[in-house]
């Protein structure tokens, strides 16, 4: 598959009577967005607010973050099976409003929802303090069941992102980047002397608001499979979970997966990027065994020399990570795992909930238990009602002036376990 990604760089966002892009500024019509969101009867209210880099703004509780992208050439549409019909994506041309996002927030769905500060000492821990954000604050209908509320919030964000992305359809991109992965035999033959490298992309799928969607299908319902990396860039995977904010893979992070980006940068130079093995994270031990067996089988079947593995979440998913690492290594494929760490507030606990001897090469994305101070902000988008019960917060952490103390893991993407962050750990 060959995908051209046309990047339109956004440096500011403003309200206007219609939605369009001009000279690097995204203008959005809040009335049209609010009307679009409220087509869903599960939502009783919606309002749109803007958050720009450097402003004294706090956004909470954050549910998802999405980069607006629109398919301009090729089959299908971005977010297939979720927005519009099911159709294979990953080929043709897609335009992206780089530097802009849609953020959904509002009353809490589950305790694992996060915070974004647009300025101050904690802004450095999240990439979304550097983006121009269209924030959709939603209000659920009275008595709405939790899973229905999550679904309504997810659709509100995706529908808004698709609406905003239409402003990029006819634009001439500032930059076009081409990504290509050929059918397997052709790909291997193209660079026969380079090591064949793959990527195991683990999706959160442990139920109880821990869901991710692949072409609209809940990831709990599929077995490990192979996919082209470019499919992910076209929205074949969307987030639908409430895992710890620090390592939640938002829809934005699926569209902008740094492991895929970096493998493409090295492709044809010092490695041959063969493709992605997609798998999930399971609740029951039998499922963990079955799916890790399949991951190892696919890695061997593809003839890989090495691969990288990332997970989403921590604790229980660490077992899936270690099973994948162990079995792939035993199949003769070298493995590097990428994950974050949780050693406790005193730093004395084990950083991962599980470990195997085969996990001897790891890239750390930092640790989420560090307590940091969040100073008061001039503006709040959303609400602070739930900070003490959100993951990373604790009873008594809120102050009267709006400031609070919490673990780093309350910040969206602060230690995200695919490397889209600024933290790391080093052995000496």
What is the 3 state secondary structure string of 300-349? HHCCCCEEEEECCCCCCHHHHHHHHHHHHHHCCCEEEEEEEECCCCCCCC
b/e sequence 318-336, b meaning 16+ C-beta within 10 Å: bbbbbbbbbbbbebebebb
- Mapping DSSP to helix (H, G, I), strand (E, B) and coil, where does residue 414 land? coil
The pLDDT of residue 243 = 84
User: Using CA atoms, how far apart are residues 309 and 303, in angstroms rounded to an integer?
Assistant: 16
Banded model confidence at residue 135, pLDDT cuts 50, 70, 90:
very high
The residue written with tokens 């990047």 in the block is 7
The answer to whether residue 301 scores a pLDDT higher than 90 is yes
Q: Is 420 a member of any domain? A: no
Encode pLDDT of 157-204 as tens digits.
Answer: 999 999 999 999 999 999 999 999 999 999 999 999 999 999 999 999
Average pLDDT of the chain is: 95
In a domain, 427, yes or no: no
Q: What pLDDT score was predicted for residue 218?
A: 94
Give tens-digit pLDDT for 345-399: 888 888 888 999 999 999 999 999 999 999 999 999 999 999 999 999 999 999 9
Indicate whether 426 belongs to any domain. no
Asked if residue 426 has pLDDT above 80, the reply is no
Q: Please say if 325 is a catalytic residue.
A: no
Stated pTM of the model: 0.96
- In this structure, is residue 425 part of a structural domain? no
106: left (phi over 0), alpha (psi -120 to 50) or beta: left
In a domain, 417, yes or no: no
CB 415 within 8 A of CB 310: no
Nearest Cα to Cα of residue 134 among 92, 110, 165, 171: 165
What is the model's pLDDT at position 428?
65
Instruction: Classify 279 as helix, strand or coil.
Output: strand
Tokens of 282: 């399971």
Is residue 210 predicted with pLDDT exceeding 90? no
Model confidence band, residue 257 (pLDDT cutoffs 50, 70, 90): very high
- Give domain status of residue 238, yes or no: yes
Instruction: Say yes or no to pLDDT of 21 above 80.
Output: yes
What average pLDDT does range 106-135 have in this prediction?
94
pLDDT for 242 equals: 82
Residue 227 lies in a domain: yes
Are residues 49 and 105 in contact, defined by beta-carbon separation less than 8 angstroms? no
* Catalytic one of 29, 135, 242, 325: 242
pLDDT at 132 over 90: yes
Residue 331 lies in a domain: yes
SS3 at position 135: strand
Higher-scoring residue by pLDDT: 387, 84: 387
Total number of domains constituting the chain? 1
- Domain hosting 152: range is 2-410
Based on the number of CB atoms within 10 Å of its own CB, is 242 exposed (0-12), middle (13-18) or buried (19 or more)?
A: buried
Mean pLDDT, rounded, for 411-415: 96
Segment (H or E) for 34: helix 30-37
User: For residue 212, is pLDDT > 90?
Assistant: yes
């Amino acid at each position: 598959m060959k995908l051209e990604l046309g990047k339109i760089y956004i440096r500011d966002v403003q309200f206007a009577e219609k939605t369009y892009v001009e000279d690097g500024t995204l203008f959005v019509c809040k009335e049209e967005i609010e009307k679009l969101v409220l087509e869903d009867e599960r939502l009783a209210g919606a309002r749109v607010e803007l958050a720009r880099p450097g402003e004294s703004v706090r956004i909470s509780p954050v549910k998802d973050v999405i980069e607006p992208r629109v398919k301009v050439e090729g089959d299908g549409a971005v977010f297939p099976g979720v927005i519009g019909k099911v159709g294979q994506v990953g080929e043709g041309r897609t335009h992206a409003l780089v530097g802009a996002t849609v953020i959904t927030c509002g009353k809490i769905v589950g305790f694992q929802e996060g915070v974004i500060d647009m300025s101050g000492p904690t802004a450095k821990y999240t990439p979304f303090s550097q983006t121009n954000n269209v924030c959709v604050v939603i209000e659920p209908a009275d008595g709405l069941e939790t899973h229905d509320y999550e679904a309504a919030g997810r659709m509100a964000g995706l529908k808004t992102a698709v609406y905003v992305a239409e402003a990029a359809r006819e634009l001439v991109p500032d930059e076009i980047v081409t990504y290509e992965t050929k059918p397997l035999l052709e790909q291997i033959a193209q660079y026969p002397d380079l090591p064949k490298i793959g990527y195991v992309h683990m999706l959160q799928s442990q139920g109880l608001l821990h869901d991710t969607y692949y072409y609209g299908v809940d990831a709990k319902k599929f077995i490990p499979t192979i996919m082209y990396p470019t499919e992910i860039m076209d929205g074949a995977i969307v987030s639908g979970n409430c895992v710890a904010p620090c390592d939640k893979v938002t829809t934005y992070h699926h569209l902008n997966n740094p492991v895929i980006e970096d493998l493409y940068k090295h492709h044809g130079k010092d490695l041959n990027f063969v493709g992605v093995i997609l798998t999930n994270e399971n609740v029951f031990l039998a499922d963990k065994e079955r799916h890790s067996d399949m991951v190892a089988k696919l890695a061997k079947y593809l003839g890989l020399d090495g691969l990288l593995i990332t997970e989403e979440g921590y604790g229980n998913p660490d077992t899936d990570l270690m099973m994948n690492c162990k079995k792939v290594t035993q199949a003769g494929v070298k493995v590097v795992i990428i994950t974050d760490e949780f050693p406790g507030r005193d730093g004395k606990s084990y950083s991962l909930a599980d470990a195997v001897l085969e996990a001897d090469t790891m890239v750390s994305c930092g640790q989420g238990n560090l307590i940091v101070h969040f100073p008061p902000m001039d503006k709040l988008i959303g609400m602070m009602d739930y900070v003490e019960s959100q993951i990373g917060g604790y009873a008594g952490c809120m102050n009267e002036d709006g400031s609070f103390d919490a673990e780093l893991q309350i910040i969206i993407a602060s230690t995200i376990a695919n490397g889209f962050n600024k933290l790391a750990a080093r052995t000496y």
